[in-house]
Amino acid sequence: MAKQTSFIGLLVFGFLCFICLPVEAALKKYQFDVKLSNVSRLCNAKQMVTVNGGFPGPTIYAREGDRVQINVTNYVQYNLSIHWHGLKQYRNGWADGPAYITQCPIQTGNSYVYDFNVTGQRGTLWWHAHILWLRATVYGAIVIMPQQGTPFPFPQPDREEVLVLGEWWNADVEAVEKQGNALGIPPNMSDAHTINGKPGPLFPCSEKYTFAMEVEKGKTYLLRIINAALNDELFFALANHTFTVVEIDAVYTKPFSTEAILIAPGQTTNVLVRANQVPGRYFMAARAFMDAPISVDNKTATAIFQYKGIPETVLPKPPTLPAQNDSDFALSYNSKLKSLNTPKYPANVPLNVDRHLLFTVGLGINPCPTCLNGTRLTASLNNISFIMPQTALLQSHYFNIKGVYTPDFPDKPPTPFNFTGAPLTANLRTNVGTRISKIAFNSTVEIVVQDTNLLSVESHPFHLHGYNFFVVGTGIGNFDPKKDPAKYNLIDPIERNTVGVPTGGWTAIRFRADNPGVWFFHCHLELHTGWGLKTAFLVEDGPGSDHNVLPPPKDLPTC
C-alpha cells in the first residue's frame, strides 16, 4: 500500500511539474507580397499598392512570447519598408522598419525577413509601410493575445472585431504627394475616410463597400480600433451604445465609460461594447477632429452594428459625434486615460530624470524657386528640419560609417520665444540637417513637446519607435518648468507609444532608455513628417553583450 501511495504521489508530482512548465513560444510565419491591385471605391477604380491584394492588408496574430517572421517581397515600382508599430524590438532595430532610419528600403524584386520576438506585450498594435505616403494603402492590424491561460484584466468578451480606420483617395496617392511637394503646398486631402477599407453608405457607389458586424443581444464585444489615417485625428462612436475603454496602444487602462473616443494617427484603442439596445441596425462612425483653422477631410465614414435577425432594409440609427472642433471633449477624454497599475501590470514611471529635453514644433516657409509661390512649407523640431539620409542611421552607427548624421540635436530650442503667443509668419532661423540626439544607455529621459504658433497652432501626434513612454503631463499654453511639473501624474499615467500634443499646448513624456539602437521620433501626420517634423535618438550600448545592439541579419537591404 505504501508503494502504491508513493507511486501515486510521484504521478501527481510529475503532473504538477508538467503543468508548471512554461508554454513553449510558437513561431508564427507570414508571407507579405507587396503588389499592385485593382481596387474600386466611390465609383472610381484604380491600381494601388497592397499587401496580398487586401485593403487593409492581413492581420498578424501572435501570443505574448511568440517569435514572428514575416517575409516581405516587393513586386511594385517603389522601394519600401514596413514598420511594426508599437513593437519594442529590444536590441533588434533591424526589424523596426522605418526606411533610412533602421534599414535601407526593400528594392523592387527583393525580399527581406522581419524576424522579432513579442516580449512583454499583449494587445492591439498595427503595421504599415514606412516610406513616402505608401502607408495610405499598405497597413494592417497586429493582434497579440496574452500568454496561454492568462485572462484579460476585464470581463471576457463573447467575440472580438478589428476595426481599422483609414482614408481613400480617388487619385494615386503617391502622385498626390509628389504634386504637393513639387508645388510647395499641402497635397490634396483624402476623398473619404474608411472603416476596414470601406467608406460606408453615405458615399456614392458604396452599397457593397460598407463594413457590417452582426451581433446578438446581451453579448459583449471587444472592438480593437486602429487609426491608420495619414493625416487626421478621428472621433469614433456607435449610435445608442456606450464604450468601455480597456486598453490603448497595447497597454491595459483603468476602465472608463464614454460615448465616443478620440484616436490619433498611429494610436490603437480597445473598447468593450454590450449589445444591450433594442435590436436594430446602428451606425458606427468616424469623423475628423480639428480645432485649428486648417482644412481636413470632414466627411464621415460609417459601418453597421447589426443585431441578428434584423433585415437590411431597416435604416441604421446615426450616432452623435462630438463637433469637429470640440477641444474640450478631446482634453477631457485624454485626461481619463490612466494606467491599470496593478502588481501584474505596474506603471514603472521614472521618478528621477537624467536628461530633460524641450522640443518645439514649428511650421515655416522656405524659399523654393521652382514651387508655385516661390516658397515651400516646412516643419521643424527645435528649429531643425530633418533631412532623411541616404544610408540607414542604424547601419551607419553599427558599422561606424562617417558623414551620415551628426549627434548634436539640441536639448532645447536655440531661439526661445513666446511659443503660443501671437501668430508668427517668419522662420526662426530654421536649419536643415540630419541631426540626432545621443542618449546614454539606461538613463531616464523626459521630453516636453511644445506646440508653437509659427504659421498656426495645431495638434500633433508624436510616435517614439522602440519604446513605450509615460504621459506624465499635458497643458494648454507654454510649458512652465517651474510650475507644471508639480502637476504631473507620477502614480498611474497612461503608457503608450503615440501621444497627441494639444493645439497650442504641450505634452510631457518619460521613458527609460534601456533599448540600444537608433529610434525614430516623429509626428505621425504624414504631411508633417514629410516636411521634416522628425528626429531620432541614438541610444548607446550598455554594459555587457546582452545590452548591445544585435548583429544585423544577412539579408539586410542595402541602399
pTM for the predicted model, two decimal places: 0.94
pLDDT for res 481? 97
The closest of 178, 167, 168, 228 to 77, measured between CA atoms, is 178
pLDDT at 20 over 80: no
* Pairing mode, strands 534-539 and 437-439: parallel
Please tell me what DSSP assigns to residue 536: E
Same domain, 291 and 207: yes
Domain count, the chain: 3
pLDDT at 1 over 90: no
- Dump the DSSP string for 388-426: PPSS-HHHHHHTT-TTS-BS---SS-SS---TTSS-B-S
Give tens-digit pLDDT for 28-85: 999 999 999 999 999 999 999 999 999 999 999 999 999 999 999 999 999 999 999 9
- Phi/psi for 529 (5° steps) reads -60, -45
Say if 347 falls within a structural domain: no
As a residue count, the chain comes to: 559
Same domain, 330 and 415: no
The closest of 80, 82, 109 to 95, measured between CA atoms, is 82
Top-confidence residue, 12 or 287? 287
What is the overall mean pLDDT for the chain? 93
Give the sheet arrangement for strand 67-74, strand by strand. Answer: 44-51, 27-41, 67-74, 111-117
Could you tell me the pLDDT band of residue 416, with boundaries at 50, 70 and 90?
confident
Strand locations in 212-280 (E): 212-215, 220-227, 233-238, 243-248, 251-258, 260-263, 268-274
Give tens-digit pLDDT for 489-547: 999 999 999 999 999 999 999 999 999 999 999 999 999 999 999 999 999 999 999 99
Could you tell me the pLDDT band of residue 265, with boundaries at 50, 70 and 90?
very high
pLDDT at 211 over 80: yes
Task: Say whether 333 sits in a helix, a strand or coil.
Answer: helix
For the chain, count helices (H), then strands (E): 5, 32
Same domain, 191 and 58: no
Give tens-digit pLDDT for 377-389: 899 999 999 999 9
Q: Are 210 and 559 in contact (CB under 8 A)?
A: no
- The residues, any chain, with a CB within 8 Å of residue 483's CB and separated by 6 or more, are none
Same domain, 269 and 315: yes
Say if 64 falls within a structural domain: yes
pLDDT at 302 over 90: yes
What cell numbers appear for 489 in the block?
501624474
Same domain, 372 and 429: yes
Say if 405 falls within a structural domain: yes
Give tens-digit pLDDT for 69-125: 999 999 999 999 999 999 999 999 999 999 999 999 999 999 999 999 999 999 999
Same domain, 111 and 49: yes
- Domain termination residue (choose one: 306, 336, 366): 336
pLDDT at 13 over 70: no
Range of the domain at 128: 27-145
pLDDT for res 425? 67
In the block, cell 449610435 appears at 239
- Phi/psi for 489 (5° steps) reads -95, 105
